[in-house]
Amino acid sequence: MAIAESAELFQVEHARPREQRRWLRVLLGKKLAMCALAYLAVFYLAGIFAPLVATHDPTKTEISVEARLAGSSSEHWFGTDRLGRDIYSRVVYAARTTIIFTFAVLITGGVFLGLGLGLLAGYRGGWIDTAIMRVGEILAGLPTLIMMLAITAAFRTHINNLSFDLADATWLSVDEARTLVKFVIIVGATVPFAWVGSARIVRSQALAIRELPYVTAAEAAGASTPRILARHIFPGVLPLFVVGLSAGMAGIAGAEVGLSFLGLGIDPPTSSFGNLISEGAGARFFEQFPHVLIFSSLPVIFFFFAWNLLGDALVDILEPRANQR
């Protein structure tokens, strides 16, 4: 059962611009959070430099009885899958898939829609605020799972045509265009439901800061709107925004993993943790070939765990009352 995270927990009444430098010190003092950061660093480096880190071509199949579902060995560290592909290399490339996906969602849904619309609604108020918040309300009212499934299912039958068109119009090869189209579809299915939460947090923060004396003073002194947004509102909003994002990171990445598990997200031959796990997920299969499920799920479980730890640590720092006194 999903427990809806209450936005209130992350809300503070007053921005604390002066305390920003304190952050880093406190964060560095938290051992668990540092472990999480270290793991994330490894994960991201491995994903970004996947071609260097991987030992095999992740799509290279070797269809033979000997190569099929072999356990770990010095040749295949994490063993092989049904088609004789190297699971370690597929995991490395799956990390890359996760990184690209979360990055795309963060930029579009988080920064562009969440931060942008939140600031706009909070600072400008009026009908803009009403409109943005109502659209958010409508989106929040839709059943996320069904909608995400429906969007991906509706588009997956057009993947080939879209990618052929794209390959014709650009310098991309068909394979690259295909991968890109798949990413666009799944990002497009996630983003509409990913921005509402952070826009709400940003908006209520911006509302509070707008009323603070130094902001009204700056307004009275004739500072321009972009200047006020950039100098006063944005720095005040940022900490909570970042906390919200890092706490929500596992959820965003999890959406792709879940959809791919169902075969509606990133599909083979492109690796994704979802399609890697789906190959090994079954009680009977697990009994005989535990390496497939273990090695393809642990890296991403730790990824989620690390982001959860980090998000939790950031909440702690920002809102010390919540966890620790």
Partner 1 sequence: MSNRTLTLLMGAVAFLILAVAAVFGIVLLGGGGDDDGTDSASPDATRTPRSSSSSSGICQGKSLIVPGNEPASVFDPIQVTDVSTSEYVVEIFGGLVTINRDLEVEGDLAESWDISPDGKTYTFKLRNNILFHDDTRVTAHDVKYSIERAADPKNASPTVRAYLGNIAGVNDKFTNKSGEVSGVKVVDDRTLTITLIEPSDFFLEELTYPVSYVVQQEQVEGDARNWTRKPIGTGPFKVAEYKVAEVIRLTKNDRYHLGAPKLDEVVFELGGGSISTRYENDEIHIGFVPAVDLDAIKGGNSPLSAEYKAIPNMATSYIQLNTKVAPFDDPKVRQAFAMTIDREQINEVLLYGYYQVADGFLPPDMPGYKESVSSYDFDPVRAKQLLSESKYATNMPRITMSYGGSTGDTPDILVAMQEGWKEALGIEVQLQVLDSAAYLREQRTGKFQMSADGWSADYPDPENFLGKLFGGNSPLNYTGYKNDQVDALLEQARTESSREKRYELYTQAEQIFMDDAAIIPTFWPVDHLLVKPCVVDYPAASMTIPKYRYIDIKED
Partner 2 sequence: MGPGLTGYLIRRVLWAVPVLFIISVAVFWIVRAAPGDPVDSILGRDFYSEEQAEQLRDKYGYSDPLPVQYWKWLKNFSQGDLGISTRHRDFTANEIILPKMRISATLGIIALVITFGLGIPVGIYAALARGTILDPLMISTWLMIDAIPYFVMIPVIQWLLAIKLGLIGLGYEGLTSPNIIVPILLLSLPAVAGVARIMRASILSVIDEDYVRTARSKGLRESTVIFTHVARNAMLPMITVIGLSLPGLAGGSLFVELFFGIPGIARESLDAVLAPDFDVILALTMISSILFVVANILIDIAYAIIDPRVRLGEARG
Task: Write out the residues near partner 1 by the rule CB under 8 A.
Answer: 61, 63-66, 68-72, 79, 82-84, 153, 156-157, 159-160, 163-164, 174-175, 178, 262-264, 267-269, 275, 278, 282-291, 294
Token pair, residue 129, equals 């605020």
Rounded to a whole number of angstroms, the minimum distance from the CB of residue 265 to partner 1 is 9
Contact (Cβ atoms closer than 8 angstroms) between residue 256 and residue 186? yes
The neighbouring-strand residues paired with 125 are none
Whether residue 311 contacts residue 103, with contact meaning beta carbons closer than 8 Å, is answered with: no
Nearest distance from C-beta of residue 44 to partner 2, angstroms? 17
Shortest CB 241 distance to partner 2, Å = 14
**Footprint on this chain of partner 2 (rule: CB under 8 A):** 1-9, 11, 32, 134, 137-138, 140-143, 145-147, 149-150, 153-154, 200-201, 203-204, 250, 254, 257-258, 261-262, 277-278, 280-287, 293, 297, 301-305, 308-309, 312, 321-325
- Considering the complex, what minimum distance in angstroms separates the CB of residue 138 from partner 2? 6
Minimum distance of partner 2 from residue 107's CB (angstroms) = 24
13 or 66: CB nearest partner 2:
13
**Nearer to partner 1 among residue 70 and residue 233 (C-beta):** 70
Q: Which of 314, 174, 176, 195 has its CA nearest to residue 251? A: 195
How far apart, in whole angstroms, are the C-alpha atoms of residue 212 and residue 250?
34
The one-letter amino acid code at 315 reads: V
| Residue 318: both structure tokens together | 């920002």
Residue where the block lists tokens 């940003």? 202
3-state secondary structure of 44: helix
Q: Which is nearer to partner 1, 87 or 121 (CB)?
A: 87
**185 in Cβ contact with 159 (< 8 Å):** yes
Give whichever of 28 and 32 is closer to partner 2, judged by the CB atom: 32
Q: Which does 108 bind (CB under 5 to 8 A by kind): partner 1, partner 2, none?
A: none
Q: Which does 6 bind (CB under 5 to 8 A by kind): partner 2, partner 1, none?
A: partner 2
Short-list 90, 81, 84, CA closest to 63? 84
3-state SS, residue 80: strand
Q: How far is the CB of 290 from partner 1 (least distance, A)?
A: 4
Comparing CB distances to partner 2, the nearer of 150 and 218 is: 150
174 binding partner (options partner 1, partner 2, none; Cβ < 5 to 8 Å by kind)? partner 1
CB of 288 to partner 2, least distance (A): 10
Report the partner that residue 66 touches, choosing among partner 2, partner 1, none (CB closer than 5 to 8 A by kind). partner 1
What lies within 8 Å, CB to CB, of 152 at 6+ separation is 185, 186, 189, 259, 264, 265
- Residue 321 and residue 12 in contact, taking contact as beta carbons nearer than 8 Å: no
Q: What does the alpha-carbon distance between residue 198 and residue 308 come to, in Å, rounded to a whole number?
A: 16
